[in-house]
Amino acid sequence: MAANMIGVNKRIIVFSLGSMNIPMINPIITKRAGPYETEEGCLSLSGTRKTTRYHFIEVEYLDRNLKSQKQNFTDWTAQIIQHEMDHCEGVLI
């Protein structure tokens, strides 16, 4: 979920990784590799749309304690993060 999609004008996303909810404040993708075409749906729109995503991303962000973090993500988790970060940029698929 992206904060701006629920009326909070901040660059914050939250996603689930197993049973953990991971918040990212001001996330920035610093590396990406392995582009692929996919179709995604969104709770904000009906149906699905084509988009390009990356299998691997490196993200720098602040955690819930405002501590700088840098992490690598792949595949489905990377796709979710990219989708939510698009929302922060005002992009709807």
Residue pair 2/84 in contact (Cβ under 8 Å)? The answer is: yes
Strand order in 45-62's β-sheet? 12-17, 20-42, 45-62, 68-74
- Active-site residue identified among 37, 39, 60, 84: 84
Annotation says 84 is catalytic: yes
Residues annotated as part of the active site: 84
